[in-house]
Structure 1
């Protein structure tokens, strides 16, 4: 799961104004909380 989350974050982080906003958007898609990804 960690590898998948990191890959998604790297691919999409430029679409968001900050890393944290990208994390908040991605977390529900992979079934975890933003704090888990942080």
Structure 2
């Protein structure tokens, strides 16, 4: 039973953190900076 509960809890926590941190916004900012820096 614990073999199922632990990964499920980890997935829930990971999804919550991803939703809170919104890494895709940081990725968008990074790509914008790269484009501005390289001038492409």
Task: Indicate whether the TM-score tops 0.5.
Answer: no
Question: Taking CA–CA contacts closer than 8 Å with sequence separation of 6 or more, which of the two structures ends up with the larger relative contact order?
Answer: 1
Please identify which structure carries the higher helix content.
2
Q: TM-score, normalised by structure 1?
A: 0.37
